[in-house]
A and B are shown apart, each in its own frame.
Chain A
């Protein structure tokens, strides 16, 4: 059954309660915990290990480049992969339906899990900010508001994509496979670790359409105060200027939110298939 309209009210109290539930359940499910916390932890440790190796990427320290990319990339494990697992598991064990039988609106039932995932993502990002500011000597974000806007929009995109993908993922085991295409695409083509600057135009245009790409561009630009958007020259940008520089990337994100809403409405399922 698809999402139905209207989805109802969004109250913070029950959603926070469900977010707490997600934390408890994740802590008790070591497989899920490993995927959602282990992968980011690995990337975090890599930053510290590679720190000071002298390599540069796109004109800045390579580790700082990756670190600012991690701030966006952690959307994949903490929000996207996490929520595909959560929604698939909850649907198959019928707890989604059970929660939906109670007084919560559909939006609250789904939003509670999203809230839990987003809080986890923000906590992971906060660790990276501390590492960038201390160990990597990269300072604090120059434009934290713009950075946070991109992170929250990115979280919305990947939460919606997770809802849609969970609808075509029959079991939790299969979720390991169904998340792969978008995970690999995000790792290779978003510029979070490997810059797109030197690639042919056609590839760069295609890469700009990958949903993680605009998040990476905006977060890096907002953090460093230098233009790291697709066409950027890595020169310094002021606070207001950064918003206009990131305009196209912000529009891409908004387009992804709209597409995500459509996909989630189309593919998300509250209940297992019959038969």
Chain B
């Protein structure tokens, strides 16, 4: 990577709250015009890292550069080029949507017209509604509007679609994609893996304050293998499950019947096909029905589970 190409450059960042070290040696870089997603469970240090990069606090150790400058010490130089969407809050409850956007238009240089901003976040019909009366998802969209009013070169989105219904989430993804297409560099945190899979040029999975895995989605998934799973037929003891191409079954008891999963690595594209043939022959020979049979490539969730030890979604907000 050409060093001048790094719009965001984080090297060996540490950050602590009292005795708790929230970020421990975080290193990653974001290139001009790309969307980079930081994934991790709550407590992985995403928001602490994000707020340090946004310039809210100095790095305890390590270096952070945004557009080549220290975002905390030189924040009056950096801020006009950045747009920030915080993880929560930050709207004046008694201002209407239009008044809120107008306030920010007056505060940032070279503001976009209000109509354009509201159009982009699909809030044009809510212009006269006070912020306190908006739904959670509408508040997030208004917050996104404020982040983009100043045509930022670098956009920070901290869990931008939390609290949105699926339709609003898709609309927000379109908005973000359009911004990236216009050349905006985006750093995004999320715990929706689908969001990262859909939007990110590159991503990093954080665990316990540092990056565990990073790269393009394909790079991150590479080496994590393809998966075949089915419900273990009741008459088959787990110990007698076959080992197609040497793969060991992992048996998990979910909602009802135990499910056997094979992870196939190292056989290239041939793995799934060969292993499936082996399994189907085995089932035919014994006249077994393999309920819920699936074959698929590794997903981000599989990688995430390997890294973090538990699924990313479904945690409550602090």
Contact = CB atoms under 8 A, between A and B. Distances in A.
Contacts of A100: 56
Interface stretch (A21-29, A204-212, A241-249): A21-29
B162 to A, nearest CB: 15
B86 A97 contact: yes
Contacts, number: 71
Contact of A28 (B58, B80, B94): B94
Given A1-B57, A103-B150, A95 B86 contact: no
Interface in B74-106: 75-76, 79-80, 84, 86, 88-95, 99, 103-104, 106
Interface residues of A, number: 26
Contact of B106 (A17, A94, A95, A270): A17
A93 B54 contact: no
Interface string A86-119: 0000000111011111111100000000000000
A93 B92 contact: yes
A38 interface: no
Contacts of A8: 75-76
B103 A21 contact: yes
Interface string A199-242: 00000000000000000000000000000000000000000000
A25 B95 contact: yes
A22 to B, nearest CB: 10
Contact of A103 (B90, B99, B107, B318): B107
A102 B107 contact: yes
B109 interface: yes
A274 B54 CA distance: 19
Given A25-B94, A97-B56, A9 B89 contact: no
A14 interface: yes
A87 to B, nearest CB: 14
Given A1-B57, A97-B56, A274 B89 contact: no
A176 B223 CA distance: 61
A102 B108 contact: yes
A103 B108 contact: yes
Q: Which of A94, A100, A103, A105 has the most CB of B within 10 A?
A: A103
Chain B interface bracket (under 10, 10 to 19, 20 to 34, 35 or more): 20 to 34
Contacts of A14: 106-107
A24 B106 CA distance: 15
A275 B18 CA distance: 13
A274 B79 contact: no
B216 to A, nearest CB: 29
Nearest to A14: B107
Given A25-B95, A95-B90, A95-B92, A9 B76 contact: yes
A98 B89 contact: yes
Contacts of B103: 17, 21
A8 B86 CA distance: 22
Interface in A175-212: none
B89 to A, nearest CB: 3
B93 to A, nearest CB: 7
A231 B304 CA distance: 75
Contacts of B91: 93, 95, 98
A24 B99 contact: yes
Contacts of A105: 76
Contacts of A99: 107
Contacts of B79: 101-104
A101 B92 contact: no
Contacts of A1: 56-57
Contacts of A274: 17
Contacts of B76: 8-9, 103, 105
Contact of B92 (A9, A25, A97, A270): A25
Interface in A14-57: 14, 17, 21, 24-25, 28-29
A76 to B, nearest CB: 24
The interface centre, meaning the residue of A25, A93, A101, A104 with most chain B CB atoms within 10 A of its CB, is A101
22 contacts: A21-B103, A25-B94, A93-B89, A93-B93, A94-B89, A94-B90, A95-B89, A95-B91, A95-B92, A97-B56, A97-B86, A97-B90, A98-B91, A98-B146, A100-B56, A101-B90, A102-B84, A102-B104, A102-B108, A103-B76, A103-B80, A103-B150
Interface of A: 1, 4, 8-9, 14, 17, 21, 24-25, 28-29, 93-95, 97-105, 270, 274-275
- Chain A to chain B: the 8 pairs with minimum beta-carbon distance, closest first: A98-B90, A94-B89, A101-B84, A28-B94, A103-B79, A103-B80, A94-B90, A17-B106
Given A24-B95, A94-B88, A101-B86, 4 more contacts: A93-B90, A98-B86, A103-B79, A104-B107
